[in-house]
Structure 1
Amino acid sequence: MKNLSRSDLSSALSAVIKRFAVLSGTLMISAVSIAGFYKTALPNSYFISKGENLMINSAFSISAKPCESKYTVALTDTSARASKTTESTLMLFGSVPIKNVTSTSIDRPSLVPCGQAFGIKLLTDGVMVVDFSRVEGGCPAKSCGIKEGDIIISIDGKKVSSNAEVSSIIRNSDGEKCSVLLRRSGKEQTVDLTPVYSNGAYKAGMWVRDSSAGIGTLTFYDAQNGTFGGLGHPVCDSDTKEMLPLSAGLVGKVNITGLVQSDKGKPGQLLGEFSGSENLGSINLNCEDGVYGSLDKNPSAAEPVELGFRQEIKKGKAKILCSIDGKEPESYDILIEQINLAGGSEHDMVVKITDTDLLEKTGGIVQGMSGSPIIQNGRLVGAVTHVFIDDPQHGYGIFADEMYSRSQEIAESSENSSENAS
């Protein structure tokens, strides 16, 4: 064995230290890059159960360190579930800060998972323009700047909420200019519409819609305040694809009469009809996260389950509840393949139907299954919302805690209305 001189040992040690420094620097750069990714990929606020710490399921170790300079704020929500909000710093590997977030600790809600099909009846707030037609060689409505998807609120100061009201005002205009107040992309504006005389009546050359009806799936019922969440996506106009502005809505009973199987490029659908005139409750909110309101009674015999928070969801096996034949909902196997925790993301989860029985019956996800509750580890974690057109075995899902938050808005609104009435 060759003896090394003191200078040789010193040189070798120096080389090792340099390599270690380079490696440490590379690891630090990688950690900072990962932290930068999670800064945008993770939401800024969370629900957690009382007595538990904020934990996030992720590929890398992420913990939450309380901010010492921040204090907790006592809150009371509408369902009398006491809560408090704290601020903490998310840490990568326990040492690299990602960002500050807030977590609201609550008594974990227990909700009844549904899965039953329900009828949706909506009356719009105003009327929606869905198409145009030519009148005497032109189109008065289109020419004055009205566009498909516009919500007409009033004409000449008269509020309109039905096709008949719009037609009556236009017919009685005598061809005089009409001031039309409309809403477009959440902003109001006024245009001047001049009807044209054709075939014995004055016309505007536009088609409007004042109501909509369809079938979806109930996701959950909150027995504590009588609220429900369903569908997981908004009710949109079939022509314009725009979300319908809600004036009033009802929950109706439906009979499932059959289904059209999904196939590649051709999503299937549940077939059904409204069962009589009985109303089961009211719809008070139509939004990006679904439809929400109150039910007269619990629609399900299922036992309540705990709400699962988004940061607790894991990729892997889960189940959905749905009824495809009008009978009691059944449980079917799925996989949660992707989870997107980023706030404001268009879709929260990607799910895959793996249950051979369901695939044989439906070919995958069909229209009308939107709102089917997703259960993982005994907790309600989400709902199915969309089907992939070219791969109906796959679809999107929404987080259940987001839907729960929406249902609490309904509870709060109802409570405030009661207080004002008294």
Structure 2
Amino acid sequence: KKYPARDEGMEIGDLIFKVNGKAVSSETDLAKCIDEAAGSNQKLTVQIKRHNKIVSLSIKPVHCSETQRHRIGLYVRDGVVGVGTMTFWDPDTRQYAALGHIIIDTDTRQGIDVLRGKIVSASVQTVRRGRPGKPGEKIGVFNEKGTVDGNITKNTSSGIFGQTSGEVNNPLVPHLLEVGYAHQIHTGKAKIYTVVNGDDIEAFDIEIEKVYRDRQNGKGMVIRVTDPRLISITGGIVQGMSGSPIVQEKRIVGAVTHVFLNDPERGYGIFMDNMLAQLPSLQNDAKKFSTLY
């Protein structure tokens, strides 16, 4: 077998954004460029982004006898999907934050560069309960006609960010919440807002066990689920719960980010300080937000 792209220096995790001067954003775009080059017996000039550097490669397609088409020996993925939780939404600018951590490529374990993306409503159909050594998971279906619709403009270590096309509401907390910053958080009781059935937002009890105010890695709080009902349904923190807002003393102080692999009732949370740092226009001591899902 021949692998022209690999032989010319292409690596796993490279982001292809231009071929022969044309912008490409899908597998279909790339296939069309390969066909055009093969038809004229020309090499492809492929521009890629690798670790924030732009690299240009010259690759000649080869004929594949199995498919009777020309190939460059790549497996290309042009998108990822998943279920997560929106942390907050600003009614003045319609900007939102979600997840509390970066979306990574499952193969390379690197953060994904978002060229374009969107968020839509989802309905949780069932929950695979977590247990020590095996994280649980929310399993849902997307509803593009739901109440949440927006773009994704940033994928960062503090979560994903963007803007919604319209208003969104949390019927459980119809009023805006004041922001609580790292210096205002203390160990003790708190709540998280999340969805475990359909699209119904519910409040569940947690305990903030530790606060590491100097941490900037999305692991500033150690939290423990104490709500018997949530534990019975999910076993604790599960995949898809990332971004669930943490509220203490009527302030939104952060979001759930990670689960402890061997203790699913415990995990980490990120500070609002870290999430707001990605949205400079919203950094205001008096700012208030709506919590969502």
Q: TM-score, structure 2 length as denominator?
A: 0.86
Q: Answer yes or no: is the 8 Å Cα contact 2:216–2:274 preserved in 1.
A: no
Write the deviation string for residues 31-52 of structure 1: whole angstroms up to 9, x where unpaired: xxxxxxxxxxxxxxxxxxxxxx
State how 1:9-158 maps to structure 2 within 5 Å: 137-158=1-22
The residue identity in structure 1 corresponding to 2:214 is A
Q: Answer yes or no: is the 8 Å Cα contact 1:293–1:410 preserved in 2.
A: no
Which residue of structure 2 lines up, in the alignment, with residue 268 of structure 1?
A: 136
Are residues 1:365 and 2:200 paired? no
**SS in structure 2 opposite 1:360?**
helix
Deviation at 1:244, TM superposition (A): 2.1
State how 1:22-421 maps to structure 2 within 5 Å: 137-174=1-38, 176-199=42-65, 200-277=68-145, 280-295=149-164, 296-301=166-171, 302=173, 303-342=175-214, 344-345=216-217, 347-409=219-281
> Which deviates further from its counterpart, 335-344 or 301-310?
335-344
Deviation at 1:401, TM superposition (A): 2.3
The residue identity in structure 1 corresponding to 2:10 is I
Unaligned runs of 5+ in 2: 284-293
- Asked which structure has the greater RCO (Cα within 8 Å, sep 6+), the reply is 2
Deviation at 1:198, TM superposition (A): 1.5
Once residues 243 and 383 of structure 1 are traced to their aligned partners in structure 2, the CA distance between those partners, rounded to angstroms, is: 19
Q: Answer yes or no: is the 8 Å Cα contact 1:365–1:387 preserved in 2.
A: yes
More helix by share: 1
Deviation at 1:346, TM superposition (A): 5.5
**SS in structure 2 opposite 1:210?**
coil
Runs of 4+ with >3 A deviation: 276-279, 343-346, 407-411
Deviation at 1:310, TM superposition (A): 0.8
The residue identity in structure 1 corresponding to 2:161 is Y
Q: Answer yes or no: is the 8 Å Cα contact 1:173–1:202 preserved in 2.
A: no
Deviation at 1:276, TM superposition (A): 4.3
Write the deviation string for residues 154-174 of structure 1: whole angstroms up to 9, x where unpaired: 122222111011112223323
Unaligned runs of 5+ in 1: 1-136, 412-422
The residue identity in structure 2 corresponding to 1:139 is Y
Deviation at 1:367, TM superposition (A): 0.8
Once residues 4 and 211 of structure 2 are traced to their aligned partners in structure 1, the CA distance between those partners, rounded to angstroms, is: 48
The residue identity in structure 2 corresponding to 1:256 is V
Write the deviation string for residues 30-76 of structure 1: whole angstroms up to 9, x where unpaired: xxxxxxxxxxxxxxxxxxxxxxxxxxxxxxxxxxxxxxxxxxxxxxx
Write the deviation string for residues 337-395 of structure 1: whole angstroms up to 9, x where unpaired: 23222254462222111222111110111111111111112211110011122221121
Percent identical across equivalent pairs?
A: 35
Q: Answer yes or no: is the 8 Å Cα contact 1:151–1:182 preserved in 2.
A: yes
The residue identity in structure 2 corresponding to 1:274 is F
Residue 366 to residue 177, structure 1, CA distance change in 2 (3 Å): same
Deviation at 1:226, TM superposition (A): 2.1
Residue 358 to residue 140, structure 1, CA distance change in 2 (3 Å): same
Once residues 218 and 170 of structure 2 are traced to their aligned partners in structure 1, the CA distance between those partners, rounded to angstroms, is: 30
Residue 196 to residue 269, structure 1, CA distance change in 2 (3 Å): same
The residue identity in structure 2 corresponding to 1:297 is E
Once residues 124 and 232 of structure 2 are traced to their aligned partners in structure 1, the CA distance between those partners, rounded to angstroms, is: 18
The residue identity in structure 1 corresponding to 2:271 is F
The residue identity in structure 1 corresponding to 2:197 is D
Q: Answer yes or no: is the 8 Å Cα contact 2:152–2:163 preserved in 1.
A: yes
Deviation at 1:152, TM superposition (A): 0.8
Q: Answer yes or no: is the 8 Å Cα contact 1:233–1:291 preserved in 2.
A: yes
Deviation at 1:322, TM superposition (A): 0.9
Structure showing greater radius of gyration is 1
Number of residue-to-residue matches in the alignment: 275
**SS in structure 2 opposite 1:292?**
strand
Which residue of structure 1 lines up, in the alignment, with residue 286 of structure 2?
A: none
**SS in structure 2 opposite 1:311?**
helix
Q: TM-score, structure 1 length as denominator?
A: 0.61
Once residues 383 and 218 of structure 1 are traced to their aligned partners in structure 2, the CA distance between those partners, rounded to angstroms, is: 9
Write the deviation string for residues 210-232 of structure 1: whole angstroms up to 9, x where unpaired: 22222111111222322221111
The residue identity in structure 1 corresponding to 2:3 is C
Once residues 256 and 346 of structure 1 are traced to their aligned partners in structure 2, the CA distance between those partners, rounded to angstroms, is: 25
